Amino acid sequence: MQLNENSLIFLRGEIEKKMSKKRLLHTFAVEKEISTLGKLYGFDKNGITKLRVSALLHDITKEINIDGQISYCKQYGIKITKDDLKSPKLFHSLTGAHLARQLYPDIVDKTIFNAIRFHTSGKPNMSMFEKLLYLADYIEETRVFADCVTLRNFFYSSKEFTLEHLDKTLLLSYDLTIKNLLDEVRPIHPKTIAARNSLIKN
Ligand SMILES: [Fe+2]
Ligand SMILES: [Fe+2]
């Protein structure tokens, strides 16, 4: 299906019915951010619309509690690993990608599905589309957490928005995330470690 402005209007209305005010503000800020990032990285009008769709749907299950997340996975046969169970904050990307496709099969294709699927943990060899959702979620303007501000400032301090700069920004984001998890004595999901290592070339 060709996505257009009407798809965005439709989805904004859909999530307004489902999300808390706080989550909604974050979601709209991610939509705004990803539109900026899409322009910086040369996406055309259709590409930017698609990026915006992924932003609108990325946290669609974030407000379901952990028990609900696990039972959703069981109900639909979504595989949960032991590592997933140790990082419950990441569950909503598994369930969110699935629910988004269930609810909007004409809108959510593989590209959007995967971007939602990996927006929390990251993964090695992410596509440009996946990287932009991951980053927009991290640096959108309503985020005031110190690491988010650090990452936003680093990203926008560049004069040139090259793939290399995007990868350097992602590497910094993984380092900040991992440092935080270490400080809080929390487990690090192996996908995040693999994603970080994949960005370090030799
Ligand atoms: Fe999320
Ligand atoms: Fe988010």
Q: What one-character-per-residue DSSP string does 8-59 give? A: HHHHHHHHHHHS-HHHHHHHHHHHHHHHHHHHHTT--HHHHHHHHHHHHHTT
pLDDT, one tens digit per residue, over 73-94 is 999 999 999 999 999 999 999 9
What percentage of the chain has pLDDT greater than the value 70? 100
**Distance in Å, CA 162 to ligand 1 centroid:** 25
DSSP 65: -
Q: Please give the C-alpha separations between residue 50 and each of 25, 61, 196, in angstroms, as whole numbers.
A: 19, 19, 26
Ligand 1: centre distance to CA 31 (Å): 13
Confidence of residue 201 (pLDDT cuts 50, 70, 90): confident
pLDDT attached to residue 2: 84
Of the listed ligands, the closest to the CA of 64 is 1
Ligand nearest to the CA of 89: 1
Could you tell me the distance, in angstroms and rounded to a whole number, from the CA of residue 198 to the centre of ligand 2? 23
CA of 5 to the centre of ligand 2 (A): 22
Instruction: Look at the chain and report how many structural domains it folds into.
Output: 1
pLDDT digits (tens, 9 = 90+) for 33-67: 999 999 999 999 999 999 999 999 999 999 999 99
Q: Print the domain residue range for 182.
A: 5-199
Among 147, 142, 115, 114, which residue's Cα sits nearest to residue 22? 142
CATH classification at residue 9:
1.10.3210.10
Cα(42) to centroid of ligand 1, in Å? 25
Checking if the pLDDT of 202 tops 80, the result is no
pLDDT beyond 80 at 200:
yes
What is d(CA 117, CA 133) in angstroms, rounded to the nearest whole number?
10
How far, in Å, from the CA of 134 to the mean position of ligand 2? 9
Give the ligand whose atoms come closest to the C-alpha of residue 90. 1
Centroid of chain to Cα 63:
15
- For ligand 2, an ion, list residues with CB under 5 A: 59, 137
Q: For the whole model, what pTM was predicted?
A: 0.97
